């Protein structure tokens, strides 16, 4: 990532000190190393069932669904808005879509309405937040409202038999399940937006230094709202895909998706101070979590351990990120190797 | 009163309740002139800067830019009139590269349909950024380097270049403590930049505590004390002791306008 990542391509002429370059590689590529390690460990510890195509596809599918939520939360974090209403949005979107399809409406209308739920929630979240209210508290409030709304709409009952959504859920194309394609499309679209468009650049600028963005004439509030809308739409798509996968629209908001998603975001090295981060890595973060869960499951370890492992990983990611970042700044400030030499 | 000044403040007062933060302050800055604005903490320097940059509206008094009477509602209005400010905190986006910071808010777009879809032209962005730095005659790091990896002096250069590129013809540049965080060598770099911009006809107001800096770069020295202008003299006609006297309030310039 050239721009959304904190450090763009390090070219020879940039003359960064070699130790800085090494630390940057550790910080930026650590996630891939971690994942490769996990695969090797589980390939041995959980043989012969781990290193199979079926397990691989299953991991990819699990990661795909949780990563859609993580994409939304990741964009929110980069833009400087933390949207905790995601599970509620997902539930309402799934229920609204489910009710339309159950009552004989066309599938595409159900899908459109589901996505529009995400847009609406994003606009409301944004509207509240730009009035100066804390996004954390506001979106927790929205989470409650939306969780209740999903139950009210559905009368508290699951909407089952959504087999007309199999094309998004369980159907496979070229051997790969539908959710993976949806997830890849979401990530591709958002990554292109962040890296190459003005809106993406300004979103990151607002997340990185809102005051600086305001001073150069950017309408900061519009971009905050946009961040919430993207987060809401991702949540809605996640809810729709999840409902399609299990063919049931459940009105129960599962708050655990936030923690999974935020862990994936943290593993990707996206700092919660905002303004930077690589979206494709968030997807890899989701894959790492799915790999741990699948590996431990196949090894026959109690699933409680997967939760503990996830938490340890999350804290470990923060520690590595912080220590490499402090070392880099220390080297740049005291060493002055690259920074001072090429100055006029 | 002539209206040829690049920036002119006419009997400006700012009251916060009963507190007079600025009391009948009039100043003029000509194109190409560098004015050092000095004063102790609380003397009214920041308030005056805010009035000039559009962040604060005066209680009374008027402001003219290039002879036209202006009433700024926001820093954006000031920028549109050709008044740019370099803030002490620089207001750069650390994670972004130099070129993105320099073009933020007026990004060059790709030609044709891609541009209409909102795609920025990165190459044009880097080209423009490089041209802006070249115009100032400074070589910093490559424009693709993120601002967070720059030294304090390089950051200051980027912030000045960003403001300078948005000035338009003979604008007004306001600088708040431009060398507060810099070492000796970097301070000299910033001093030469100020001189270069002034030679291009930019009117510059430098707010600082740094008397050597003020002496080195300014044509005229204005001193504020408790919201009043207590001195307004050509810098070469004065010396450090007199300036310190004005700043501390021990004395007032005899023939002050």
Taking the domain A17-334, which CATH number applies?
1.10.3470
Q: What is the pLDDT of residues B203-240, one digit of tens each?
A: 999 998 888 888 888 999 998 888 888 888 888 888 88
Task: Give CA A52 to chain center in angstroms.
Answer: 26
Residues 6+ apart with CB under 8 A from A293: A62, A303, A306
Whether B107 and A6 lie within 8 Å, measured CB to CB: no
Residues of A in contact with B154 (CB under 8 A): 339, 343
Whether A197 and B91 lie within 8 Å, measured CB to CB: no
Per the CB < 8 A criterion, the answer to whether A93 and A155 are in contact is no
The helix (H) or strand (E) run that includes residue A53 is helix A53-79
Q: What distance in Å separates residue B146's CA from the closest CA in chain A?
A: 7
Q: What is the DSSP string of A309-323?
A: HHHHHHHHHHHHHHH
When scoring A210, A276, A329, A339 by the number of chain B Cβ atoms within 10 A, the one with the most, hence best to mutate, is A339
A-B CB pairs within 8 A amount to 112
Q: How confident is the model at residue A334 (pLDDT cuts 50, 70, 90)?
A: low
Q: What does the pLDDT read at residue B2?
A: 46
Whether A197 and B93 lie within 8 Å, measured CB to CB: no
Q: How confident is the model at residue B243 (pLDDT cuts 50, 70, 90)?
A: confident
Average pLDDT, chain A: 86
Would the pLDDT of A183 be above 80?
yes
Question: Considering the entire predicted model, what is its pTM?
Answer: 0.85
Burial of A36 (0-12, 13-18, 19+ CB in 10 A): exposed
Residue A23 or B204, more confident: B204
Residue A326 or B86, more confident: B86
Residue A101 or A333, more confident: A101
Burial of B119 (0-12, 13-18, 19+ CB in 10 A): buried
Q: What distance in Å separates residue B242's CA from the closest CA in chain A?
A: 35
Domain ranges, ordered by start, for chain A = 17-334
What does the pLDDT average to over B5-9? 87
Would the pLDDT of A15 be above 70?
no
Residue B257 or B86, more confident: B86
Q: What does the pLDDT read at residue A100?
A: 92
Q: What is the pLDDT of residues A208-235, one digit of tens each?
A: 998 889 888 889 999 999 999 999 999 9
- Measured at the CA of B91, the angle between CA A269 and CA A70, to 5 degrees, comes to 25
Give the highest mean pLDDT range of A237-251, B12-26, B138-152.
A237-251
Domain ranges, ordered by start, for chain B = 7-93+151-248, 96-145
Would the pLDDT of A1 be above 60?
no
Q: How confident is the model at residue B89 (pLDDT cuts 50, 70, 90)?
A: confident
Question: Is B30 in the A-facing interface, judged by CB distances under 8 Å?
Answer: no
Residue A15 or A328, more confident: A328
Q: What does the pLDDT read at residue B1?
A: 44
Q: What is the pLDDT of residues B168-215, one digit of tens each?
A: 777 899 999 888 878 888 888 888 889 999 998 899 999 988 888 888
The two beta strands, B220-225 and B34-39, are parallel
Q: What does the pLDDT read at residue A326?
A: 82
Considering only the beta carbons, identify the residue of B92, B100, B154 that sits closest to A343: B154
Q: Measure Cα distances from A241 to A115, A180, A259, B238 in Å.
A: 11, 10, 19, 75
Residues of B in contact with A202 (CB under 8 A): 104
Domain spanning B7-93+151-248: CATH 3.40.50.300: yes
DSSP state of A331: I
Considering only the beta carbons, identify the residue of A6, A201, A218 that sits closest to B100: A201
Q: What is the pLDDT of residues B45-71, one digit of tens each?
A: 888 888 898 888 888 888 888 888 888
Q: Which residue has the tokens 């005056």?
A: B48
Would the pLDDT of A294 be above 70?
yes
Backbone angles phi, psi at B185, to 5 degrees: -65, -40
Q: What distance in Å separates residue A343's CA from the closest CA in chain B?
A: 5
Q: End-to-end alpha-carbon separation of chain A, Å?
A: 28
Q: What does the pLDDT read at residue A87?
A: 94
Q: What does the pLDDT read at residue B240?
A: 82
Q: What does the pLDDT read at residue B167?
A: 85
Q: What is the pLDDT of residues A120-173, one digit of tens each?
A: 999 999 999 999 898 889 999 999 999 999 999 988 888 888 888 888 888 889
Q: What is the DSSP string of B217-257?
A: H-SEEEEEETTEEEEEEEGGG--HHHHHHHHHTS---TT--
Question: Is B191 in the A-facing interface, judged by CB distances under 8 Å?
Answer: no
Q: What does the pLDDT read at residue B178?
A: 87
Residue A306 or A93, more confident: A93
- Measured at the CA of A325, the angle between CA A324 and CA A329, to 5 degrees, comes to 120
Q: How confident is the model at residue A341 (pLDDT cuts 50, 70, 90)?
A: very low
Q: How confident is the model at residue A12 (pLDDT cuts 50, 70, 90)?
A: very low
């Amino acid at each position: 990532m050239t721009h959304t990542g904190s450090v763009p391509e390090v070219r020879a002429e940039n003359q960064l000190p070699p130790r800085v370059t090494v630390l940057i590689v550790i910080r930026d590529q650590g996630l891939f190393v971690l994942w490769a390690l996990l695969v090797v460990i589980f390939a041995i510890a959980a043989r012969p069932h781990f290193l199979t195509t079926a397990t691989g596809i299953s991991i990819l599918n699990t990661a795909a669904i949780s990563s859609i939520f993580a994409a939304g939360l990741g964009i929110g974090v980069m833009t400087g808005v933390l949207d905790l209403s995601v599970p509620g949005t997902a539930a309402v979107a799934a229920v609204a879509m489910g009710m339309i399809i159950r009552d004989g409406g066309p599938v595409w209308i159900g899908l459109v309405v589901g996505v529009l739920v995400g847009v609406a929630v994003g606009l409301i979240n944004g509207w509240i937040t730009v009035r100066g209210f804390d996004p954390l508290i506001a979106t927790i409030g929205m989470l409650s409202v939306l969780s209740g709304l999903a139950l009210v709409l559905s009368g508290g009952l699951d909407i089952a038999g959504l087999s007309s959504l199999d094309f998004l859920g369980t159907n496979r194309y070229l051997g790969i399940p539908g959710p993976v394609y949806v997830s890849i499309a979401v990530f591709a679209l958002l990554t292109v937006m962040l890296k190459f468009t003005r809106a993406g650049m300004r979103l990151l600028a607002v997340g990185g230094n809102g005051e600086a963005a305001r001073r150069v004439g950017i309408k900061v509030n519009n971009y905050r709202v946009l961040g919430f809308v993207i987060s809401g739409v991702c949540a809605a798509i996640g809810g729709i895909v999840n409902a399609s996968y299990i063919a049931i629209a459940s009105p129960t908001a599962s708050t655990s998706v936030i923690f999974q998603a935020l862990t994936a975001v943290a593993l990707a090295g996206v700092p919660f101070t905002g303004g930077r981060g690589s979206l494709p890595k968030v997807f890899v973060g989701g894959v790492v979590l799915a790999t741990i869960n699948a590996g431990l499951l196949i090894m026959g370890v109690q699933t409680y351990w997967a939760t503990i492992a996830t938490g340890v990983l999350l804290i470990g990611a923060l520690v590595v990120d912080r220590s490499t970042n402090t070392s880099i700044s220390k080297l740049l400030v005291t060493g002055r190797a690259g920074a001072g030499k090429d100055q006029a | 009163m002539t209206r040829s000044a690049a920036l002119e403040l006419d009997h400006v007062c700012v009251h916060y309740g009963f507190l007079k933060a600025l009391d009948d302050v009039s100043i003029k800055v000509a194109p190409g002139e560098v004015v050092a604005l000095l004063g102790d903490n609380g003397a009214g320097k920041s308030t005056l800067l805010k009035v000039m940059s559009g962040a604060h509206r005066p209680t009374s008094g008027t402001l003219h830019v290039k002879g036209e009477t202006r009433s700024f509602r926001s820093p954006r209005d000031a920028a549109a009139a050709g008044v740019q400010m370099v803030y002490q905190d620089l207001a750069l986006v650390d994670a972004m590269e130099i070129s993105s910071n320099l073009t933020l808010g007026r990004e060059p777009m790709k030609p044709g349909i891609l541009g209409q879809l909102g795609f920025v032209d990165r190459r044009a962005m880097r080209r423009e950024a490089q041209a802006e730095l070249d115009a100032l005659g400074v070589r910093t790091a490559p424009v693709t380097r993120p601002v967070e990896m720059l030294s304090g002096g390089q950051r200051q250069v980027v912030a000045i270049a960003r403001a300078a590129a948005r000035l338009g013809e003979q604008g007004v540049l306001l600088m708040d403590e431009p060398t507060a965080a810099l070492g000796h060598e970097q301070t000299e770099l910033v001093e030469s930049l100020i001189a270069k911009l002034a030679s291009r006809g930019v009117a510059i107001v430098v707010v600082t505590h740094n008397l050597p800096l003020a002496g080195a770069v300014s044509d005229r020295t204005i001193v504020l004390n408790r919201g009043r202008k207590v001195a307004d003299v050509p810098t070469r006609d004065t010396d450090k002791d007199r300036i310190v006297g004005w700043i501390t309030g021990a004395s007032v310039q005899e023939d002050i306008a």
